[in-house]
Structure formats: structure tokens, C-alpha cells
Structure 1
């Protein structure tokens, strides 16, 4: 798999991707709060737990037994700002840093923020809907970031991206190849027996939301699929 480093895609409508930077800063700050002040039980209070999200017949939750819980429906927002470990955080923030600025450029600051949160919410909902009896907490920005990846691919498939292949080999390839391969892996993983802690369906939900929302939320005049761009060298 590829590790993205840099894309050759300058901003056209905004001076600086303030919302992307703000989202990264919030995620990093929350992670440091997690490691410094919160235990696993407290973090789970901000996570999506499918059984609790959909089960309206639950008895009042005992703080002494499972810890304080954020209001269930609000966990659809809170879950995307918590991460399991530093690699989980770093991977999501790297993709957001490389690809988020151009999506923000195409949508504008406010609509981009709405877009990001909506992708995360839809990713969390699809994950919970696929396994509504699960009691395993879901945290991470992967659903929202997957939406950003889908939007970037719809907007800029022909842009060249520098990546590390196999984590060590630098390559300059098209976004269509790099991100298309990443998306194919997500689809493949949901078709295989579930192994490990990765919530693949949250990724799929974010991808679906991002691919649709970018079409309607983009600025007037912003083309799709790099229409009008010369063939890359």
C-alpha cells in the first residue's frame, strides 16, 4: 500500500486550508488528552457502540459499571476525533493533510467542514447498521477521511502524487492509481472474513458519502475529474 507524501495540486480559490489545519489540530489535541487524562473506559464513552446507538429499550446506563456516556446520537460526531494509538492518528492525519486542502479549496471552508462531518457521520452509521448488535466501540477519523479521499478522486484523478510504495520506495503516480488502489482495498476487505480491529464498513460509508456530496457541495464552476487539465507528464 502507498503512503502519501505530497500532491502537485496548487490551491485556486482559498489562500490557506484553515479548516483542514483546524481538524488536524483538534484530532492531535484530543489524542494528547486521551493519553494524558483518559482511560479506555472514558474514551469508550465518546465512541459509537452500535448496540447502544440503535437500542432505544436500554435501561439507564450505570456510570459505575461502564463509565459516563456521551449522548448516543452525538457519538456520531465525537467518535471521529478519538484514535486508538499514534499510528492510527498519524495515518488519518497524513491523508487529511495531503488531500484535504484541495477538497476544501473546491468546496469552500464552511461547506468543507459540513462535508467532513457528514462523511464521518455516514461512515459511523453504516458501520453500526451492518452490525447493530455489536458492543465494540468505534473511534477514529477514518470514515471522514475516506470521504475526503473519494472527493479528491472525483475532483482530481489526473493529478500526480508523490507516495512511498511499500513504505520505502518513492514514486510519482496519478491520484487515480494511488487512491483507486486504496479504495479497492477497502472494498476487498469488507468481502473477506473480518480480521482485526479495523472498521472497514465505516471507510466504505465515508467513501460513498464523499463521492456523492462533493458533486453537490463544490463551488460553482469547479470541474469534476480534472476536466480541462492537460495530460500529466
Structure 2
């Protein structure tokens, strides 16, 4: 329903969100240069070798000969840097672009990187628990990005951001509306079971992980829910331009 395109939320602790930029660049590089997404179909061999296949991770199945490149458990890290197509990549990167810099700001570079990877691993594990016998590879940054989205909600639910409503209408709305609609869609898809090709439980797992981790991984003194230690809602710095 909502696709975020920009917010007006200043950075307070870091000069540049280097980890966020590196994650964006790495995801695009892997897709274009290694998955060959820029030159046609995504490489099936790469998806099988580096995607997280539940049945392979649990030991119920094995990869065809020649496809095993690394221990199955490590695919819980590599899967989050693969994507199934341009729309899959662009959708994830749009959410990462808007929300990740402020989460990195609240945590610091190193802790944010650890946070992102942990959310991705937990998201993959949630998908495997939900469907341990599946032989379909799990790929995409969605689970890790879901953790970032949850952290942003815990930090800045009242910040207004620009979003496309129904992919067409630009509106400036509170972050809680955008993220709330996103989360409601994930729950609805699980209950309705309309789309078996999307790892909805990975999204939920990453989201819950992010909401919990931000409470302990944020910098000392960084408050939750847009409030400073006095309990007065914080306000964006004057003159902040939107990105």
C-alpha cells in the first residue's frame, strides 16, 4: 500500500551512514555482476549454491553434485545478498535507503552491521522453522530489512515521510502508518496463504528480531518512540532537507 521514498530525519551521531551505503552497493553489485541480473535471467546456479534452502539447512536434502559451495548453515548469511529480480531488489533497497541511515545513526556503524546481519539470520531461521522441508531457495534482503523497519518504528514512529500510496500518489504521512500497513500486509498474507512464493515468516521473524535488538543495541542516551529523556517528543532539526 505504501512505498517509502524519503524522510526528513536528521542524523545526530554519525557524519555519513557508511554501512547503509555499503549494504546498498553490495546488494546491487551482487545482483548485477554476480547474479547476472543486468544481462538476463538470474543465475540458477548462484541461487541454489548461496540461497538458504530449508531442507538442505536441516539436512533433509542435499544439493545436486557441483552446487555445494559452502556449508549449508552459512547460506543463512549469503541468501540475504541475493535477489530474484529487479523488482525484488528495488523494493528492498527502497526501504533500506529510507530507514537504515537513522538506525545506523542510533547504533553506530559496527553495531548496526551486526544488527542487520543478525536480523537476516533470524529471518532465515524463522522461514526454515515455518517450512523445514521446503526445497525452494530463500533469497533476498527482506528479512534483514524488516529488522531495520522495526527498529525505525521503535525509534521514530512519529517522523513524517514521503511515500507512494498504491504506487501512484505521493503523500507525507507518519512512519507508523507506512510501517503499520507493511506489517499488516505480512500478517494478512500468512493468514490468507495466497502467496506461497514469498517468505512471509522471514519478514515477521526479522521484524520481531529488529524490534527486540534495537532496545539493547542503540547508543546510550538514544531514546525510543521519538522521545528524549524528559519525555517530551523530539522534533526534527530546522532546515532539514528531505532525501
User: TM-score band, normalised by the shorter chain?
Assistant: over 0.9
Query: What is the match of residue 39 of structure 1?
Result: 43
- Structure 2 gaps of 5+ residues are 237-243
- Quickly say closer, same or farther: Cα 1:186–1:62, change in 2 above 3 A: closer
Partners of 2:3 and 2:178 within 8 A in 1: no
CA displacement at 1:42 relative to structure 2:
2.8
Structure 2 counterparts to residues 200-211 of structure 1, below 5 A:
200-211=200-211
**Alignment partner of 2:212: what SS?**
helix
CA displacement at 1:168 relative to structure 2:
1.3
**Alignment partner of 1:45: what SS?**
helix
Partners of 1:42 and 1:68 within 8 A in 2: no
CA displacement at 1:62 relative to structure 2:
4.3
Query: What is the match of residue 125 of structure 1?
Result: 125
**Alignment partner of 2:35: what SS?**
helix
Query: What is the match of residue 240 of structure 2?
Result: none
**Alignment partner of 1:63: what SS?**
coil
CA displacement at 1:70 relative to structure 2:
2.7
Query: What is the match of residue 135 of structure 1?
Result: 135
Q: 2: CA distance between counterparts of 1:187 and 1:79?
A: 23
CA displacement at 1:41 relative to structure 2:
2.4
**Alignment partner of 1:163: what SS?**
strand
CA displacement at 1:185 relative to structure 2:
1.1
Q: 2: CA distance between counterparts of 1:161 and 1:94?
A: 13
Does residue 236 of structure 2 align to residue 229 of structure 1? no
Does residue 179 of structure 2 align to residue 179 of structure 1? yes
Query: What is the match of residue 53 of structure 2?
Result: 49
**TM-score, normalised relative to structure 2:** 0.89
Partners of 1:119 and 1:143 within 8 A in 2: yes
CA displacement at 1:231 relative to structure 2:
7.4
- Quickly say closer, same or farther: Cα 1:110–1:231, change in 2 above 3 A: closer
- Deviations along 1:65-121, one digit per CA (max 9) or x if unpaired, are xx2343101000000000000110000001000000000000000000000000000
CA displacement at 1:39 relative to structure 2:
2.3
